[in-house]
Amino acid sequence: MLVSFENIIDENINEKVMTLQQVFKREHFEGFIETVPAYNSLTVFYDVAIIKRRYQIEITAFDFVKLFTEDLILQLNRGIVSKPAAIIIPVYYNGEDLDSVAQQHQLTTAEVVAIHTAKPYRVFMIGFLPGFAYMGKVDERIATPRHAAPRTNVKAGSVGIAGLQTGIYPLHSPGGWQLIGQTPLKIFDIHKNEPCLLKAGDSVQFVAISKADFERLNEY
């Protein structure tokens, strides 16, 4: 079931999504599977058979989950303000598209880097690939549309811009984002108990590092 909030990309709307997700973690029904937060929506996955068996309801499991969720949304206003985790991501700004992004905006590459690292970004959602964090919003001065023809292979760790969004490719993958740098950190590691470094709602601060630091820190 998809719970949609106002149809815009906005930190406050996303905060509502994250709060509702927190409420679901604390309070849910039997047959609840998981929730997936996105920019302006929370999707609730549930097991129809378990709900029907456990609650012996006449209404559909869908309506049951809908009523349950509406009840939780009423509680949202009572507010639980969670402090987002702040995560520092070092980036060696050497991306293949850094020069062209700078040129398109009549900036120097140093200015692009300064603007990209000037403020923390919110992780609005994770999707597309395991661990791919959609972050924003990027300063209008460096916002750049994605490539019309995606690259067939983007290296894991690549940091990119797509419109007002910024993100990191956690795996080697095809991709159309404007690549401006490379992080030495593994964003997604199947060998860890918590494989994903980031989650929706986190705050990410990029920090520029040198080539030497990149090589020293490189986890790939």
Partner 1 sequence: MSIKIIKPGVLSTLQDAGRYGHRSIGVGSGGAMDIFAMQVANYLCGNDEKQAVIEMNFPAPEILFQQDAVISLAGADFAATINESNVPVWRTLFVKKDAVLKFKQPLSGAKLYLAVNGGWQVQQWLNSYSTHLKLASGGHYGRALQKDDIVNCSANKFSFEENKILSWQISAYQLEEIYRPQNSIRCIKSAEYDLLDDSSKQNLLQNNFIISNQSDRMGFRLMGNTLSLKQSTELISSAVDAGIVQLLPDGNCIILMADHQTTGGYPRIASVIKADLPKLAQLHPGKAIHFKMITIKEAEDALISMCEALAEIKYSCEHSLKKYLQY
Burial state string for 157-167 with b = 16 or more CB within 10 A and e = fewer than 16: bbbbbbeebbb
The token pair that represents 113 in the structure block: 């880097």
15-34 footprint of partner 1 as x/- string (CB under 8 A): ------x-----------xx
Q: How is the beta sheet containing 165-168 ordered, strand by strand?
A: 86-91, 203-208, 121-126, 133-136, 165-168, 158-162, 178-182
134 scored as a contact of partner 1 (CB under 8 A): yes
Site for partner 1 in 181-200 (CB under 8 A): 188, 190, 195-196, 199-200
State in angstroms the smallest separation of the CB of 42 from partner 1: 8
Distance of CA 114 to the CA centre of its chain: 22
Nearer to partner 1 (CB atom), residue 62 or residue 110: 62
Site for partner 1 in 85-114 (CB under 8 A): none
60 scored as a contact of partner 1 (CB under 8 A): yes
- How far apart are the two ends of the chain, measured CA to CA in Å? 38
35 scored as a contact of partner 1 (CB under 8 A): yes
7 scored as a contact of partner 1 (CB under 8 A): yes
Q: Distance (Å, rounded) from C-alpha 102 to C-alpha 47?
A: 49
Q: Give the one residue of 29, 38, 151, 176 binding partner 1; rule: CB under 8 A.
A: 38
- Within a 10 A sphere around the Cβ of 126, how many other Cβ atoms? 23
State in angstroms the smallest separation of the CB of 195 from partner 1: 7
Closest by CA position to 111, among listed 92, 98, 126: 98
State in angstroms the smallest separation of the CB of 19 from partner 1: 15
- As to burial, measured by CB atoms within 10 angstroms (0-12 exposed, 13-18 middle, 19+ buried), residue 112 is buried
State in angstroms the smallest separation of the CB of 181 from partner 1: 21
149 scored as a contact of partner 1 (CB under 8 A): no
Nearer to partner 1 (CB atom), residue 93 or residue 134: 134
- Output phi, psi for 169, to 5 deg: -75, 115
Half-sphere exposure of residue 131: CA atoms within 13 angstroms, side-chain side: 21
Q: Give the one residue of 27, 45, 70, 118 binding partner 1; rule: CB under 8 A.
A: 45
State in angstroms the smallest separation of the CB of 62 from partner 1: 5
- Binding residues vs partner 1 (CB under 8 A): 2, 4, 7-9, 21, 33-41, 43, 45, 48-49, 52, 60-63, 125-132, 134, 170-171, 188, 190, 195-196, 199-200
